[in-house]
Structure 1
């Protein structure tokens, strides 16, 4: 996959978007795991 960035700002925005998505996903998975531990 070839990515072409118009500017550093665009690249920075993309990185922030990815990091936010990754962190949210990790938090949700962590909460699910905690809930299962409470249930079990």
Structure 2
């Protein structure tokens, strides 16, 4: 029983870490895209 709960909690931790990493990567991509667009607009003006 304790082994099962340990397994479940470790899977949950891995899922949380993976979701956090994906969210961070997504934020970086969004920030980079926004920065590139802002630089492009500034260069065109």
TM-score range (shorter-chain normalised) is 0.7 to 0.9
User: Which blocks of at least 5 consecutive residues in structure 2 are unaligned?
Assistant: 1-8
Q: Where does residue 13 of structure 2 map in the other structure?
A: 8
User: Which blocks of at least 5 consecutive residues in structure 1 are unaligned?
Assistant: none
Relative to total residues, which structure has the larger helix share, 1 or 2?
A: 2
Q: Which stretches of structure 1, 4 residues or longer, exceed 3 Å deviation after superposition?
A: none
Larger Rg: 2
Higher RCO, Cα 8 Å, sep 6+: 1
Q: TM-score, normalised by structure 1?
A: 0.80
Matched length: 36
